[in-house]
Amino acid sequence: MNQVILLSHRPKGLPQLTDFEFVKEEMPEMHPGEILLKTCYVSVDPYLRGRMNETKSYVPPFELHKPLRSGVIAEVVESNHDGFSQGDKVYGMLEWKEYQTSRGGGLYKVDEDSAPLSAYLGVLGMTGLTAFLGLSEIGKPKKGETVVVSGAAGAVGSVAGQIAKIQGCHVVGIAGSDEKCEMLISDFGFDVAINYKTTGHLRKAIAAACPGGVDVYFDNVGGDISDAVLVKINPFARIVVCGAISVYNVTSLPQSLSVQPFLVRNSALMQGFIVNDYQAKFPEAMKQLSRWLAEGRLKHAETMVEGFDQIPQAFLDLFEGKNKGKMVVKISEDQ
């Protein structure tokens, strides 16, 4: 039998394990032109929370009592398709199933000789591309500028900060534990790291970390943390609004800073960003990320949990900050 995870309830506030349902179904049947895929690694991502709400967003909501889906690395175990052979490893937006069939649309072969397979869900996948393109298209950091990254120890943030360092910036990361802050400095080369949970006064800590003000803010979290950064922006600052995890589970509209005066006074740019809008630039971005990774200038961090039954919990753990780097669930051994 094949294991599948369905969305059983639309979460109210913080998602719970009871919002997910495990079911067993018959193994999928193969048809002409199809491939049979065995799931190897599943990506869990904060943006999936938005898709669990009924409201329409830039991606349609998940349907109740239907399988969830996210970025998956899978192995082709049988092929009736000219473009794929048994043993190929592919990336695609696939369902949370141990096995599934596909006609190949939206699947990309990944090269396991160049990088570990799970890297194609992180530094060489959607989150790495998000960091790269958010900076190159909106942040545009210049040598010597100060770049602040929130959610800095996560998948997107850790790559964004490292890229800003490669570009010669003074890089300040904001993260939720001393261990993460330590990692930002010792592993990823950030100049300063601030633990937003223990620093008594975030605005003062940011002012001390950014004596020349903030030129680029790569925002993964929104809320109070971002308010504390926004009051320190410099003239012509660029704010990459990548995500707002601090408010993904709120049930009433949060009170926040009125940002307009800060933007006007500083002729600053604040721009929302969705990585899929830049698909034409993915090959070029991938090439650069792969080069930096091969040169050792970019480090790939991940938190890997094992087991198909752990997918929902790994997703919930993102909201508790339990991951360092990309949160990935390993389902089956690489061949």
Q: Which is nearer to ligand NDP, 154 or 312 (CB)?
A: 154
Q: Which is nearer to ligand NDP, 119 or 327 (CB)?
A: 327
Locate all alpha helices (DSSP H) within 105-177, ordered by sequence: 126-134, 155-166
> Are the C-beta atoms of residues 124 and 118 closer than 8 Å to each other?
no
Q: Provide the 8-state DSSP code for 254.
A: P
Q: Which is nearer to ligand NDP, 94 or 318 (CB)?
A: 318
Tokens of 215: 């030129």
List phi, psi (to 5°) of 179: -65, -40
> Are the C-beta atoms of residues 192 and 209 closer than 8 Å to each other?
yes
Contact residue for ligand NDP among 202, 221, 311, 314 (CB under 6 A): 221
Contact residue for ligand NDP among 90, 176, 181, 188 (CB under 6 A): 176
Interface map 226-255 toward ligand NDP (x if CB under 6 A): ----------------xxxxx---------
177: contact with ligand NDP by CB under 6 A: yes
CA torsion sign for 276, 258, 172, 140 is positive
151: contact with ligand NDP by CB under 6 A: yes
Q: Which helix (H) or strand (E) holds 68?
A: none
- Shortest gap between Cβ of 179 and ligand NDP (angstroms)? 9
Range in contact with ligand NDP (rule: CB under 6 A) among 82-90, 139-147, 155-163, 210-218: 155-163
123: contact with ligand NDP by CB under 6 A: no
Tokens of 59: 């991606």
- Shortest gap between Cβ of 286 and ligand NDP (angstroms)? 15
- Shortest gap between Cβ of 84 and ligand NDP (angstroms)? 27
273: contact with ligand NDP by CB under 6 A: yes
Considering CB under 6 A, how many residues would be counted as binding ligand NDP? 32
- Shortest gap between Cβ of 74 and ligand NDP (angstroms)? 20
Q: Which is nearer to ligand NDP, 73 or 327 (CB)?
A: 327
Q: How far apart are CA 163 and CA 165, in angstroms?
A: 5
Query: Strands 2-7 and 69-79: what pairing?
Result: unpaired
274: contact with ligand NDP by CB under 6 A: yes
Beta strands in the chain (DSSP E): 2-7, 20-25, 35-43, 69-79, 89-95, 99-102, 108-109, 146-150, 170-175, 192-195, 214-219, 233-241, 269-272, 302-306, 326-330
Contact positions toward ligand NDP, by CB under 6 A?
45-47, 126-127, 130, 151, 153-157, 175-177, 180, 220-221, 225, 242-246, 273-275, 318-319, 321, 323, 327
